[in-house]
Structure 1
Amino acid sequence: MNTSKHLWAGAIAAMVSRTIVAPLERLKLEYIVRGEERNLIELVTSIATTQGLRGFWKGNLLNILRTAPFKAINFCAYDSYRKQLLRVTGNKEATNFERFIAGAAAGITATVLCLPLDTVRTKLVARGGEALGGIAGAFRYMIQTEGVLSLYKGLVPSIASMAPSGAVFYSVYDILKSAYLHSPEGQKRLHDMKQQGQELNALDRLELGPIRTFLYGAIAGACAEATTYPFEVVRRQLQLQAGRNQLGTLATGLKIIERGGIPALYAGLLPSLLQVLPSAAISYFVYECMKIVLKVE
């Protein structure tokens, strides 16, 4: 029951955050998948003119279907791995190394289980994706034409990306949270919360408080994104390959650098960061709130 509540808390956090930042996610994909070269303002104007406001939420349903289980598994796996490490070591609080290990393991677990949905979403957003007939059609097309293993294109760079991303994302947040809770101000807040007990609402029962929960989530998200962004670019390009002459991970990365230099590995980083900052902040905020509401132990 507790695991189920844990998963629901992560899933709801993903649904809320992804829907709010869907327009920024769409812009990021335009730069990575379609090789968009126009500046941000021109791209926004073009989408609004040709597709209307709904165009900024294109692919959001599939994004939610992908990220809800991904985030649910990710959050739950991190807390589970961290608790298991504490049981093994006998420590009351995880060390920074244990946080990194738990975060990396959580990222790998979620990636392996959820990569097929991400591959299909990338296919739908790319040129010609509209003709595949939606989610089911894209799944059917890829399996029939390229085989089941095509759904796991980019698995190696995905794991190479998500392992350090999870390690950085969760450990940075936990380190900041631990530092605050051990400070005089944090100790006073915990003491006051204990005194007032059940009289507090969900927002007041956040250990960090609403503002710090938002802030620390945003910082953790920005650190993780900046660290692993080149892997994201390589992974998207691998997912778009078809036919016999498909390149490996290293060859794809070298080809991207050959075409546009090192900056090509960071194509779309600005809109990506603009998307990640609120997304990570909202995710952690909603997740922490839902754990309180659902009474996750």
Structure 2
Amino acid sequence: MERGPRASAARPPDSEPATAARALASARELLDDRVVEPLLRTHAARVLIAGGVAGLVSRTVVAPLERTKILFQVQGLSVSPPGQPLRYRSVAQSLRAILEKEGLRGWFKGNGANCVRIIPMSALQFYAFDVLTQQITESGSSSALTPLQRLWAGALAGAFAQTITYPLDFMRARLTVDMSGRYSGILSGMAVVVRQEGVRSLYRGLVPSLVGIMPYVGVDFMVYGTLREWLPRDAATGEPGTGAKLMAGAVAGAAGQTVAYPLDTVRRQLQVQDVKVKYPDVPKYRGLVDCFFGIVRRDGMRGLYRGIWPNYLKVAPSISIQFVIFEHMCKSLAATRERIDERRAARRQHA
């Protein structure tokens, strides 16, 4: 039998790449069978995955504006001494100030906690809306929801998701305004809060949060779903174009924020009012109503909407991206599941 260099030279030149390709294909099939297919087996799982990815991407894109918004909302309470000029006066000035003091990472401070929160929240929100939509359509005579039905389904879905994930939202706000390094992370921060303020503090601001999230998410789903039905359809796909859907999402997000923003401001101030005790004259609120009217007395109605302009800049791309990515992910995951099923059927035929 011939050995050595001649035998190697006699081997077909494409044998090794072909072997590698077959090994890669086998590994991909194994991954699909053992990991991907179980994850995508049910419609509910695909909705949860799509919702989580949509929330993660959309919030990370607008993280600098999210931090600016929160600093606008709470600066009169815990960032500056009473009577001092406001530190953050405009979006551009705020972004520059954060960059100069904390560097580029400062723009994304608190975003890790936000992502940990938003992945389950967005997933649960879209899942709950999907379940409620199915129940409404199955119990009615029409397969399409009315605007009012979308409003209620979205409101209940938002309340469900917010209640479950609220402690993460609470810590995200604390991490965002913490300038002293008191909190080093989500779990360690929760431990500090529980030790110093009690377990109930993790749910401080939950009531105004629920009161605010229900109209916000409800209006988002109602406006986007209604506008989507009115959008012109592409002749080839039968679907509205991506640009048109992004515009519909922007309008929906702006409408939802306008309705819910005052209660979001109340929630933020309740969450962070114990971050600093350096200034004894800083007001301490006893609850939702006290905080609401305290802000109005001190700053007027404008105080309830402080930070809404950077929030509009944040909401437009955030909600747009969230809806578009969710729809794209749902289609992509369903197509992946169909591809796996077709390949399995082909293997059975050749077996």
- Residue 159 of structure 1 deviates from its aligned partner by 0.8
Residue 254 (str. 1) matches residue 300 (str. 2): no
Q: Match for 1:62 among 102, 113, 125?
A: 113
Match in the other structure for 1:19: 60
Greater RCO (Cα-Cα under 8 Å, separation 6 or more): 1
CA deviation string 1:118-151 (max 9, x = no partner): 0011112224562122212211011122222211
SS at structure 1 position matched to 2:295: helix
Residue 229 (str. 1) matches residue 261 (str. 2): yes
Contact residue 9 and residue 291 of structure 1 kept, 8 A: yes
Measure, in 1, the Cα distance between the counterparts of 2:183 and 2:289.
29
- CA RMSD in angstroms, aligned pairs only: 1.9
Structure 2 runs not aligned, ≥5 long: 1-41, 77-86, 278-283, 338-351
Q: Match for 1:42 among 52, 74, 93?
A: 93
CA deviation string 1:223-272 (max 9, x = no partner): 101111001000001112349x6511000011111110000000000001
Residue range with higher mean Cα deviation, 274-283 or 87-96: 87-96
CA deviation string 1:193-252 (max 9, x = no partner): 37xxxxxxxxxxxx2221112111111111101111001000001112349x65110000
Match in the other structure for 1:91: 142
Residue 32 (str. 1) matches residue 47 (str. 2): no
Name the aligned partner's letter for residue 30 of structure 1.
L
Contact residue 254 and residue 312 of structure 2 kept, 8 A: yes
SS at structure 2 position matched to 1:131: coil
Contact residue 13 and residue 287 of structure 1 kept, 8 A: yes
Measure, in 2, the Cα distance between the counterparts of 1:109 and 1:123.
22
Relative to structure 1, is the Cα distance of residues 127 and 208 closer, same or farther in structure 2, using a 3 angstrom cutoff? same
CA deviation string 1:41-60 (max 9, x = no partner): 32222112122222111111
Name the aligned partner's letter for residue 262 of structure 2.
P
Q: Which has the larger radius of gyration?
A: 2
The 4+ residue runs of structure 1 with deviation greater than 4 A are none
Normalised by the length of structure 1, the TM-score is 0.88
Structure with more of its chain in helix, by fraction: 1
Name the aligned partner's letter for residue 11 of structure 1.
G
Match in the other structure for 1:199: none
Residue 4 (str. 1) matches residue 45 (str. 2): yes
Q: Match for 2:208 among 157, 161, 183?
A: 157
Q: Match for 1:287 among 326, 338, 349?
A: 326
- Residue 90 of structure 1 deviates from its aligned partner by 3.0
Contact residue 33 and residue 122 of structure 1 kept, 8 A: no
Normalised by the length of structure 2, the TM-score is 0.75
- Residue 83 of structure 1 deviates from its aligned partner by 1.3
Measure, in 2, the Cα distance between the counterparts of 1:246 and 1:144.
21
Contact residue 64 and residue 95 of structure 2 kept, 8 A: no
Residue range with higher mean Cα deviation, 210-219 or 145-154: 145-154
Q: Match for 2:244 among 212, 235, 238?
A: 212
CA deviation string 1:13-49 (max 9, x = no partner): 1111111111111111111123344333322221121
Measure, in 2, the Cα distance between the counterparts of 1:128 and 1:22.
17
Structure 1 runs not aligned, ≥5 long: 195-206
Residues paired across the two proteins, number: 277
- Residue 273 of structure 1 deviates from its aligned partner by 0.6
